Amino acid sequence: MITSDEGQAGLEVDRGLLGRTSTAERVADVLRTRITEGFFLPGVRLSEHDIGNALGVSRNTLREAFRLLTHERLLVHELNRGVFVRMLAIEDVVDLYRVRKIVECSAVRAVTERPAGFGRVAQAVEDGAQARRRQRWQDLGTANIHFHQALAALSGSPRVDELMRGIFAELRLVFHVMADPRRFHERYLVRNQEIAERLDVGDGPGAEKLLATYLDDAEHQLVEAYAKGTAAEA
């Protein structure tokens, strides 16, 4: 049996881990956000030296952040080569959309009046419209992800928010398979607006119906693009 004094001593030994771990988690948050926003592309090698210097963190802290993101399936470690942004397969696309349909459709289905988080939904639609006017297609993709994050957040669950942050970071890696981001993202902007209009009047079932069709179409489009890419490499 561990005594109170022994437990205290054990915690004191672990004290040094707290600062490093929390810093590693913050570094992982930064890198995850950069992946979500499209700054790190699939297949890119991440330089410990460059990133460590840019963020002002130690190599050990950075390696811990890399480990966290590898666990989240955003990075992959290749022996004797380093750490790379992960390249996803068709099976990953299908699974990501399976999760999205479960979470996002459930979140909007429960809406019976204009939700408290509607402002975030509407802002993402407006950000997408501004990106289109400025012809900033990467920003349009980011606004689209923010829109769907806002939909999932309607569930009111911090655990769902945490889950979906990882899902959408992986999804950004999927989007890079599209040779023409404008052609992929622009068509969904109007559909985002239609879903927002249903939520604005509290029509959760109507929003869910639109969203389910939307996600089916996006999944089919991405799987088709992946299949063509695989065939081209063969």
Question: Are 147 and 124 spatial neighbours (Cβ–Cβ below 8 Å)?
Answer: yes
For position 12, what pLDDT does the model report? 58
Q: In angstroms, rounded to a whole number, what is the distance separating the alpha carbons of residues 43 and 40?
A: 9
Task: Check which CATH number belongs to the domain holding 223 and give it.
Answer: 1.20.120.530
Residues 57 and 24 in one domain: yes
pLDDT tens digits for range 92-106: 999 999 999 999 999
Q: State whether 44 and 98 are in the same domain.
A: no
Are 80 and 132 contained in the same domain?
no
Asked if 59 and 119 sit in the same domain, the reply is no
Q: Which residues contact 177 (CB under 8 A, 6 or more apart)?
A: 222, 225, 226, 229
Helix (H) or strand (E) holding 73: none
| pLDDT tens digits, one per residue of 14-24 | 555 445 558 88
155 and 217 housed in the same domain: yes
Specify the DSSP class assigned to residue 86: P
126 and 156 inside one domain: yes
Please determine, for residue 41, whether its predicted confidence score (pLDDT) is greater than 60: yes
Helices (H), 80-180: 90-109, 118-133, 137-153, 158-175
Which of these ranges, 11-25, 181-195, 199-213, has the smallest mean pLDDT?
A: 11-25
Q: Could you tell me if 100 and 128 lie in one domain?
A: yes
What are phi and psi for residue 47, nearest 5 degrees?
Answer: -85, 120
Per-position b or e across 19-31, b if 16+ CB within 10 A of its CB: eeeebbeebbeeb
Count of structural domains, the chain: 2
Are residues 150 and 208 both part of a single domain? yes
Task: Kindly report the CATH number assigned to the domain that includes residue 72.
Answer: 1.10.10.10
Are 133 and 70 within one domain?
Answer: no
Q: Are 177 and 225 in contact (CB under 8 A)?
A: yes
What is the per-residue pLDDT across 125-143, written as a single tens digit (0 to 9) for each?
999 999 999 999 888 988 9
| The pTM of the whole model exceeds 0.85 | no
112-140 burial by CB neighbour count: b if 16+ within 10 A, else e? Answer: eeebebbebbbebbebbbebbeeeebbbb
The domain of 181 spans 90-233
Q: Which residue has the higher pLDDT, 9 or 234?
A: 9
Domain boundary among 36, 58, 85: 85
Let me know whether 103 and 79 are in one domain: no
On whether both 123 and 214 belong to a single domain, the answer is yes
User: Which domain-ending residue is among 64, 85, 106?
Assistant: 85
Among residues 70, 85, 100, the one where a domain terminates is 85
Does residue 152 share a domain with residue 106? yes
Strand partners, 78: 82
